[in-house]
Amino acid sequence: MEKNVLIIGGGIVGLCSAYFLQKEGHKVTVLDKSDMSSGASYVNAGYITPSHIIPMASPGMISKGIKWMFNPVSPFYMKPRWDTDFFKWSWYFHRSSTKEKVDLAIPLIKEINLMSRELFMDIKRSGDLGDFHLERKGLLMLYKTDKEAEHEMQVAKKASFIGLEVQFLDKKALDLLQPNVNMDVSGAIHYECDGHTTPTEFMEKMIIFLKKSGVLIHPNEEVIDFLMANGTIDQVVTDKGNYTVDEVVLASGSWSEKLSKKINVKLPLQAGKGYRINVARPTGITIPAILMEAKVAVTPMTEYTRFAGTMEFSGINTIIRKERVAAIANAVTGFYPDIKINQEEKAAAQSGLRPVSPDGLPYIGKCGQIKNLTFATGHAMMGWSLGPATGKLVSEIISDKTIGMDINAFSPDRKF
């Protein structure tokens, strides 16, 4: 049965939802408050990461957050501020950061990531988007110290135990794998299960395909209210008009909490800002990596190498903090002594806001209070990786099909 579906949010999750919904024969409209050329879906590291099995809300993160709170260049930064929503979120984050909850989350994160990895491949094989950058070279976790090596080895053992492909590399083996780049590291763990893409390329080609397929895409249009009738959303009100709907998908990233409040739905969510620097010079880097001690992501993309990092909780803003950009640049040289990021490259840095739930799991599913509202947000650092899987799940929910995996743990109504 064809439905009139309105998607609020034109990032990777919103566009993938539109992709699979139009495949099911629905009439789809996508709204986004931006011009759809920037933001988290464009500045992320482009990782497809089954290896990221540990949610951010894990034992030890609260103490690290407090330790780093007053350090503006730390990888994980919480700006001190009086904000009751942030206080509540922080308390829920604390309650979620237990070994028991992490152990429950690990198989779910693995399953949805593997689903998404295959869907990326399906999209490529379909030819719908034409050719786009998609590689499966894995992810190197580069470390300098024994402390970081030991920490990541514990994660790697868990990943290996649940069937993910992992290799332990000493410096000699690492140099054979990356012969054209000088690395000041002790060794690496290679998660061979991972892949990577070039986000800007994928997003641009997805928008072109959706428009050709009849999906209506309206950038620079902001949702300002909802008109309700009998427990359902009857109309979505924007700054440019009203839309009568059968179904609504809330995929508006870090803005999802504010929109949820307009319909009296409490959705604990905080914006986690990340930064990226593109280097369009040869670097010799051919395999994605994370610089463990610095928490910086490195990705060889179509026309440049991208260096991305930080998780900054400072509210919804896109302010570029020069000290945080400099911290990324310094970390790069610390791990790759021959790579010096220049002032022009640092000046062109961009930021994006990741929507972070308190327990590190996304919100995917129907809202109990409102019959025709489906949530698709809260993916934190895995938004890019989980875009296709989330879109597929959303299409199954709205099309009343069998859901491809158990999504109870992703419920927007869950308690923290």
Mean pLDDT across 46-73 = 79
Q: pLDDT tens digits for 182-212?
A: 999 999 999 999 999 999 999 999 999 999 9
Calculate what percentage of the chain has a pLDDT beyond 70. Answer: 98
Q: What is the pLDDT of residue 326?
A: 95
Where in the sequence is the domain holding 334, given as residue range(s)?
4-410
Residue 15 in domain: yes
Q: pLDDT tens digits for 124-144?
A: 999 999 999 999 999 999 999
Backbone angles phi, psi at 139, to 5 degrees: -135, 125
d(CA 176, CA 202): 31
| pLDDT value at 70 more than 70 | no
Is 344 within 8 Å of 332 (Cβ atoms)?
A: no
| pLDDT value at 78 more than 80 | no
| pLDDT value at 62 more than 70 | no
Show the tokens assigned to 96.
């979620």
Residue 258 in domain: yes
Confidence of residue 406 (pLDDT cuts 50, 70, 90): very high
Confidence of residue 66 (pLDDT cuts 50, 70, 90): low
Torsion on CA atoms 390, 395, 401, 405, rounded to nearest 10: 0
Mean pLDDT across 51-79 = 76
Nearest Cα neighbor of 387 from 20, 4, 38 is: 20
Residue 415 in domain: no
Residue 416 in domain: no
Q: What is the pLDDT of residue 316?
A: 93
Question: Is 79 or 153 the better-scoring residue by pLDDT?
Answer: 153
Residue 343 in domain: yes
Q: What is the pLDDT of residue 63?
A: 65
Is 205 within 8 Å of 196 (Cβ atoms)?
A: no
Q: CA–CA distance from 182 to each of 283, 285, 342, 390 (Å)?
A: 10, 9, 18, 38
Q: What is the domain count for the chain?
A: 1
- Predicted TM-score (pTM) of the model is 0.96
Q: What is the CATH number of the domain that holds 345?
A: 3.50.50.60
Q: What is the pLDDT of residue 59?
A: 79
